[in-house]
Amino acid sequence: MNSYIPEHVTLNVIFSTLLLSAIISIIAGTVFAVFEVPWHGFLRQAVRNSIVLLGYSFPIALIGYIAGYLSTMGRASAVAQVLPAVVALIGGLNIYVFGTDSKYRALIAYCVCVFAGMLFYGTQYGAYKRDIEQEVRLEELMKIEARLKLKRNNLQLGNDFPSWLLGSEPK
The string of DSSP letters for the chain reads: -----HHHHHHHHHHHHHHHHHHHHHHHHHHHHHHHS-GGGHHHHHHHHHHHHHHHHHHHHHHHHHHHHHHHHSSS-HHHHHHHHHHHHHHHHHHHHHHTT-TTHHHHHHHHHHHHHHHHHHHHHHHHHHHHHHHHHHHHHHHHHHHHHHHHHHTT--SSPPHHHHTS---
Q: pLDDT confidence of 170, banded at 50, 70, 90?
A: low
Does residue 1 fall inside a structural domain?
no
Does residue 64 fall inside a structural domain?
yes
Does residue 166 fall inside a structural domain?
no
Does residue 54 fall inside a structural domain?
yes
Res 88: pLDDT: 83
Does residue 135 fall inside a structural domain?
no
Res 1: pLDDT: 45
- The pLDDT of residue 9 is above 50: yes
The whole-model pTM stands at 0.70
Q: Which whole number is the average pLDDT over 45-74? A: 87
Write b or e for each residue in 118-145: b if 16 or more Cβ atoms lie within 10 A of its Cβ, otherwise e: bbebbbebbbeeeeeeeeeeeeeeeeee
Quote the CA–CA distance of 60 and 95 in Å, as a whole number. 19
Does residue 133 fall inside a structural domain?
no
Does residue 137 fall inside a structural domain?
no
What residues make up the domain containing 87?
Answer: 6-128
Looking at the structure of the chain, the number of domains it has is: 1
Contact present, 26 and 50 (Cβ < 8 Å): yes
In Å, how far are 1, 8, 49, 69, 86 from 54, measured between CA atoms? 38, 23, 8, 21, 22
Does residue 96 fall inside a structural domain?
yes
Backbone torsion region of residue 3, taken as left when φ is above 0, otherwise alpha when ψ lies between -120 and 50, otherwise beta: beta
Reported as a single tens digit per residue, the pLDDT across 96-153 is 767 777 777 788 888 888 988 898 888 888 888 888 888 888 888 888 888 888 888 8
